[in-house]
A and B are shown apart, each in its own frame.
Chain A
Amino acid sequence: TQLLKQSPQFLSIQEGENLTVYCNSSSVFSSLQWYRQEPGEGPVLLVTVVTGGEVKKLKRLTFQFGDARKDSSLHITAAQPGDTGLYLCAGEIIQGAQKLVFGQGTRLTINP
């Protein structure tokens, strides 16, 4: 059973286009994190959101936590080839449990 579902699983677009990746669950999360992973490397933390409705921006990346804290989205504006990678969302179900549940990832390819 996949607690966190990411969509799409694969996305290939042209440089300069905008895109949104979704992370959905039927469970409530106390916090949610987004990571980016390159081949042969571990995931690198991009952002953590903890409050329902919270929006955080990181340059061209905008992260939103759903009001009910069950879902999140990552929006990239004017995508660049350097954005290529595997994007993972991960949620902490119980606050302080110190255990993250990861989605299966969205593999993003930005073509020049």
Chain B
Amino acid sequence: GAGVSQTPSNKVTEKGKYVELRCDPISGHTALYWYRQSLGQGPEFLIYFQGTGAADDSGLPNDRFFAVRPEGSVSTLKIQRTERGDSAVYLCASSSLPNYGYTFGSGTRLTVV
């Protein structure tokens, strides 16, 4: 597609539930990133994929968070046993190397109640 597509745009879930957030990057972009943005803050790095592999997952806050990109295109961010503190906008971005600028999606607003 023309841009980075994220679905759903909004997700409300109950504490303790499992959620999946999807990112469809720009066609041909080999690099894919997940960031999390809390209210009033800048985005924080979660994980970076180069192709199918997670090249850097140092930003994942704990083992409840996991992300995959099995075919080197679409990626899914998975959150187990959600907590209220997980509420934020989850942003996906893609780029073609070298990285001199990302294209971000519009994000998924996750609310844990």
A contact set with B: CB distance below 8 Å: 4, 31, 33, 35, 40-45, 48, 50, 88, 90, 92, 96-105
Contact = CB atoms under 8 A, between A and B. Distances in A.
Contacts of B35: 102
Interface of B: 4, 31, 33, 35, 40-45, 48, 50, 55-56, 58-59, 91, 93, 98-107
Contacts, number: 62
A42 B104 contact: yes
Q: Which 7 A-B pairs have the closest CB atoms?
A: A42-B104, A102-B42, A45-B101, A48-B100, A98-B48, A102-B43, A104-B42
A90 B42 contact: yes
B70 to A, nearest CB: 20
A100 B99 CA distance: 10
Nearest to A102: B42
Given A102-B42, A102-B43, A102-B44, A96 B107 contact: no
A42 B56 contact: no
Contacts of A96: 98-99
B104 to A, nearest CB: 3
Given A40-B106, A42-B106, A98 B101 contact: no
Contact of A48 (B4, B31, B44, B101): B101
Given A31-B100, A42-B93, A104-B40, A99 B48 contact: yes
B31 A98 contact: yes
A104 B58 CA distance: 20
A99 B91 contact: no
